[in-house]
């Protein structure tokens, strides 16, 4: 595992310089007449210039060449044919509970990098209106070669499930293992190197950016703590490359431009618009110590709020190992119908409410007002278990992408991938009538 250096904190204003060229970031101003070392100053804005200070995000990059030095963009044909970002009407709506078996990795002998391996499962909204989200999986087996990618449509929250990701960004390098996540905000260029066949999940949001949820009565500490988020430190390469490719996801389609150099030539930078990673093992669980099962909102790591207070375009929620101690309580998740859409994935282990059928590398989707909850085996076991303190979810990491938007499933997700479990509904059919006087 590479020994990369990181800066600690969430939403902080950082300054970082490649140690080979100290003082690359100008003192006292952003855009001097001549930058140190003959660098170019370039601002990358993640919000409107006039956004409130608490929501204003931007970084200044000091680079060997500005990003504008490239040939015109052209349609990137034949790559990532199952990537979607708009036009959610290709399939007829389907309100049924959906569960996918683990998505297939690329066949042996076929090289598929991170970009080519993007497949959209479901989504909602419109990238042009900057409102909505999409859920993708990546299925890849080789590194990106002399290629960088950036997303003009929104932020990527990436959840590796199999295989680590060695990610080079304009801000430096990130090494992201399964049970860690990373966020690459809109517009930031990055390239992914792999160590072998790799699979994972991506939550893309078009509205604003991810932030930490408010804690309210929880107080000052708990859930995901800011100090545990890590941002890369500056590291540049001055590399001439004939035909280096820069791939842009723009309005849901892919475009490619070529240039004669690596885009990872940022010698120093400062700002608060940055990529970052987080180790899910550091999540501080808040839970009931008396009775009843708490709502899953207590497990929220990051949220992308909507314009309605308390309602999210998307929440990223985890269900980590923890103690369960509630008295006279059915401890697993309760049966539920919801005004939200719930997409779940499993990184490793066995999810407590459905120990069979829901497998690592697979997924489930419970759409708005579609009932769901523990399967028959889980219900019977939890209804008759001795209620003593016990560890649950050890060796397991399940997560959920939850949204206030009603998501449509793509043709790839419902048909082409051939991973949809048509017998999912059967896990509830054995639930018996226990009513008595």
Catalytic positions, please?
Answer: 293
Residue 114, token pair as written in the block: 């991170």
Contact indicator for 192, 28 with CB cutoff of 8 Å:
no
Residue 189's beta-bridge partner residues? none
372 is in an annotated binding site: yes
Radius of gyration of the chain (CA): 23
Nearest to 202 by CA among 216, 214, 212, 190: 190
> Quick one: CA torsion of 39, 74, 81, 112, rounded to 10 degrees?
-50
342 is in an annotated binding site: yes
336 is in an annotated binding site: yes
The helix/strand count (H/E) of the chain reads as 2, 28
**Can you tell me the distance from the alpha carbon of 266 to that of 240, in angstroms, rounded to the nearest whole number?**
14
DSSP string, 329-366: S--SPPPB--SSEEEEEEEES--TT--SS--TT-EEEE
436 is in an annotated binding site: no
Which DSSP category does 412 fall into? I
Distance of CA 265 to the CA centre of its chain: 26
**Can you tell me the distance from the alpha carbon of 101 to that of 93, in angstroms, rounded to the nearest whole number?**
21
Residue 247's beta-bridge partner residues? 149, 256
Annotated binding residues for Fe cation: 336, 342, 372
Annotated binding site for homogentisate: 351, 372
């Amino acid at each position: 595992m590479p020994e990369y250096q990181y800066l600690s904190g969430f939403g902080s204003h950082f300054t970082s310089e490649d140690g080979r060229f100290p003082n690359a970031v100008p003192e006292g101003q952003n855009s001097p007449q001549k930058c140190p070392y003959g660098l170019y100053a370039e601002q990358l804005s993640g919000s409107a210039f006039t956004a409130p200070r608490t929501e204003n995000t931007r970084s200044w990059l000091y680079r060997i060449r500005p990003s504008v030095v490239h040939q015109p963009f052209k349609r990137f044909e034949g790559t990532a044919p199952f990537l979607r970002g708009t036009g959610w009407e290709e399939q007829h709506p389907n309100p049924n509970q959906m569960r996918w078996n683990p998505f297939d990795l690329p066949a042996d002998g076929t090289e598929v990098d991170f970009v080519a391996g993007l497949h959209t499962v479901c989504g909602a909204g419109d990238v042009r209106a900057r409102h909505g989200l999409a859920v993708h999986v990546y299925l890849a087996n080789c590194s990106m070669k002399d290629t960088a990618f950036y997303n003009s449509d929104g932020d990527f929250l990436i959840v590796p499930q199999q295989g680590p990701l060695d990610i080079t960004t304009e801000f430096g390098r990130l090494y992201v293992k399964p049970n860690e996540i990373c966020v690459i905000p809109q517009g930031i260029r990055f390239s992914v190197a792999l160590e072998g066949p790799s699979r994972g999940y991506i939550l893309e949001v078009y509205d604003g950016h991810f932030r930490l949820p408010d804690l309210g009565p929880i107080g000052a500490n708990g859930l995901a703590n800011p100090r545990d988020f890590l941002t890369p430190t500056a590291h540049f390469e001055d590399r001439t490359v004939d035909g280096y490719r820069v791939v842009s996801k723009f309005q849901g389609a892919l475009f490619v431009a070529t240039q004669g150099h690596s885009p990872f030539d940022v010698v120093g930078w400062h700002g608060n618009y940055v990529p970052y990673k987080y180790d899910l093992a550091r999540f501080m669980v808040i839970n009931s110590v008396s009775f009843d099962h708490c709502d899953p909102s207590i497990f929220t790591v990051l949220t992308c709020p909507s314009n309605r207070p308390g309602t999210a375009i998307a929440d990223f929620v985890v269900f980590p190992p923890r103690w369960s101690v509630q008295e006279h309580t059915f401890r697993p998740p309760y049966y539920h119908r919801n005004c939200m859409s719930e997409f779940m994935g499993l990184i490793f282990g066995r999810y407590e409410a459905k120990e069979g059928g829901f497998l690592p590398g697979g997924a489930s989707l419970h759409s708005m007002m579609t009932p769901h909850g523990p399967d028959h085996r889980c219900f019977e076991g939890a209804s008759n278990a001795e209620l003593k303190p016990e560890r649950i979810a050890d060796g397991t990491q399940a997560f959920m992408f939850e949204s206030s938007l009603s998501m449509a499933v793509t043709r790839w997700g419902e048909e082409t991938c051939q991973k949809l479990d048509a017998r999912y509904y059967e896990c509830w059919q054995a639930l018996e009538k226990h009513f008595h006087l």
